Amino acid sequence: MATEKDARLARAGVSGYNTPKRTPNHPKKSHIVVAKEGDKVKTIRFGQQGVKTNQTVGQRKAFKSRHAKNIAKGKMSAAYWADKTKWSPSKTKSPSTKWKKGS
């Protein structure tokens, strides 16, 4: 059983469980993580490729309110990892709360 889990990590190209990694060559998704919670293991791809995210505080708030239910599901959901990796406050480009669609 342990070799199967190691194969998942190798196939995803990540260093360990619950460590997200960028996937610049994937056609649709920008990140991958092999999530582990208890004895459950799941490979999750998340984030849209080539999209500017987290540009303003307003954009971050909109994402969090839109995906709050899924983020609350924990480590086994893509929204949780997108929130943690792509939408953390430290990655916000502009301190302005104003957000315009298409910017």
pLDDT digits (tens, 9 = 90+) for 37-86: 999 999 999 999 988 888 888 889 999 999 999 999 999 999 999 999 99
pLDDT of residue 21: 95
Contacts for 26 with CB less than 8 Å, ≥ 6 apart: 32, 45, 49
Counting Cβ atoms within 10 Å, is residue 32 exposed (0-12), middle (13-18) or buried (19+)? buried
Cut 0.75: pTM above it: yes
Residue 5 has pLDDT above 80, yes or no: no
Residue 2 has pLDDT above 60, yes or no: no
